[in-house]
């Protein structure tokens, strides 16, 4: 995927967070689709058009359960567009501290802003947009456990590599 088109869904109260993330995605070669930046058509049409063009959907979920009506429309269009497509497109929940994951995203692997900075979040979004199979947990519990175990092992190897590098740097 040369330049993934990523639909950003967010509550208007999280517009600054969305703008920051959109900038980081552009730096990484993505094309963020934000209907609120569109001109020349109604907002409803802009949301539908952006959802139809998206290759991945990012759902910025702020703290609490509150969702504004435009974000609800974005969710509806993302689900409809994904349903109508020949192949599913990744749906990536990004959680602020205290966010509640809506039911339609509960089987997706979420990115927590408490565990990652904005650059790491943007990197993960690009990775998932490029490798959609990594965005969803297997429905079989044994397979899901296997996926988690493999990811934990990968993180442990990464942590060991960092420690080793740090030890090397400390010698100088």
Q: In this structure, which topology does domain 5-136 adopt according to CATH?
A: Rossmann fold (3.40.50)
* pTM, entire model: 0.74
Torsion sign (Cα): 62, 65, 66, 68: positive
Q: What is the DSSP letter of 105?
A: G
pLDDT in tens, 17-48: 999 999 999 999 999 998 776 666 788 888 88
Asked if pLDDT for residue 164 goes beyond 80, the answer is: no
**Site of tokens 């994951």:** 101
- pLDDT for position 147: 62
Q: Is residue 1 very low, low, confident or very high in pLDDT (cuts 50, 70, 90)?
A: very low
Mean confidence (pLDDT) of the chain: 82
- pLDDT for position 150: 63
pLDDT in tens, 115-150: 889 999 999 999 888 877 765 655 567 666 766 666
Asked if pLDDT for residue 172 goes beyond 80, the answer is: no
Structural domain boundaries in the chain: 5-136, 138-172
**Of 136, 60, 69, nearest in space to 97 by CA:** 60
- Mean pLDDT along residues 101-127: 88
CB 111 within 8 A of CB 93: yes
């Amino acid at each position: 995927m040369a330049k993934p088109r990523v639909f950003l869904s967010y509550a208007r109260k999280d517009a600054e967070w969305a703008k920051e993330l959109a900038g980081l995605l552009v730096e990484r070669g993505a094309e963020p689709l934000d209907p609120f930046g569109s001109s020349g058509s109604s907002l409803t049409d802009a949301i539908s058009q952006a959802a139809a063009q998206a290759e991945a959907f990012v759902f910025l979920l702020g703290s609490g359960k509150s969702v504004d009506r435009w974000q609800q429309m974005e969710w509806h269009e993302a689900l409809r567009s994904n349903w109508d497509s020949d192949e599913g497109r990744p749906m990536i929940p990004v959680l602020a501290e205290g966010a509640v994951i809506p039911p339609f995203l509960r089987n997706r692997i979420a990115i927590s802003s408490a565990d990652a900075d904005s650059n790491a979040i943007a990197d993960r979004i690009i990775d998932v947009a490029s490798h959609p199979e990594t965005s969803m947990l297997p429905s079989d519990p044994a397979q899901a456990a296997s996926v988690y175990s493999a990811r934990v092992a990968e993180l442990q190897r990464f942590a060991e590599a960092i420690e080793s590098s740090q030890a090397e740097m400390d010698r100088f």
